[in-house]
Amino acid sequence: MQDPTYRKSLTKISFTVLLFSAVSLTVAFAGGSSKGDPQTFGAYQIDLDSGPVGITVQGHSATQVVTVSEENIPSDIEIHYTEGGGILHVTATYANGAKATDPSTPTARLVATMPRYEFVHITTTSGEVSIDNLSTDHLTIQTGTGAIKVVNTNAALKAQSTSGAQSYTQIYGSIDAASTGGSLLVDNTWGTMKLASTTGSLVGKNIAVAGDSSFHTTSGTITMGLTYGLSRYTFDIRSTSGNLKLGDIAQTGAIRWGNGNIRITSVSETGTQDFQ
């Protein structure tokens, strides 16, 4: 690794992005098709309130516009687009105008493509968030039970879920992620990390920790595989009753080892920890 220099009951998603202002426009499209015609907008902020419809974000660099496509939207759902003052609002309602909230077809989703922006913010309740090939200075994601999956993204990333699992692959920047019961997986990633979970496990595979980082669980396990080995770090690993392992060192209580320039702090109550 080189150092770099759809699902159910999605309640609200908001993206904050930098683009150009547009005139006011309100359009409604009924569902029922496999994939609706893509809608293209110019806006510096996008708010999606999509009820039971999932969300996928794909980055692109071809144009300076946002495109939203509809996939597998049920016939009883209407997708509304309201644009004005540089802000795009996308909402899902029933035909009678009531807000769509009931669980629906798991494959129903909106697909948003966008170029590079300074800020992107996403919020859901139980809908899955899937992001691929996005480049942004700041990416913020918040879900309840919905899973979070981010791939091939350059960002300072901050995420939080209640029980939804989170996975991050090929992230360049920083990750600040927390979950109450969901697991957190970080794979093939470069940057600083702050990972926390109450009962969910924390797993790192081939991670290049490039700055002071921390890991914390109550009862979840912590397992980290470090790309650069152990010698460049200073470790402060502690647990109330969980077993600890750092390389060939195995003991309980605490392991404080190393004199590297980057400090790794890891704390658990009963969860085991293993750093290699």
pLDDT digits (tens, 9 = 90+) for 165-215: 999 999 999 999 999 999 999 999 999 999 999 999 999 999 999 999 999
pLDDT at 34: 42
Query: Model confidence at 101, in pLDDT bands (50, 70, 90)?
Result: low
Average pLDDT over residues 217-222: 96
pLDDT, tens digit (0-9, with 9 covering 90-100), for 1-12? 444 432 223 333
pLDDT, tens digit (0-9, with 9 covering 90-100), for 70-100? 888 888 888 888 888 777 777 777 778 776 6
Mapping DSSP onto H, E and C, the string for the chain reads CCCCCCCCCCCCEEEECCCCCCCCEEEEEECCCCECCCEEECCCEEEEECCCCEEEEEECCCCCCEEEEEECCCCCEEEEEEEECCEEEEEEEECCCCECCCCCCCCCEEEEEECCEEEEEEECCCCCEEEECCEEEEEEEECCCCCEEEEEEEEEEEEEECCCCEEEEEEEEEEEEEECCCCEEEECCEEEEEEEECCCCEEEEEEEECCCEEEEECCCCEEEEECCCCCCEEEEEEEEEEEEEECCEEEEEEEEECCCCEEEEEEECCCCEEEC
Global pTM? 0.80
Query: Model confidence at 235, in pLDDT bands (50, 70, 90)?
Result: very high
Query: Model confidence at 51, in pLDDT bands (50, 70, 90)?
Result: low
Average pLDDT over residues 128-147: 86
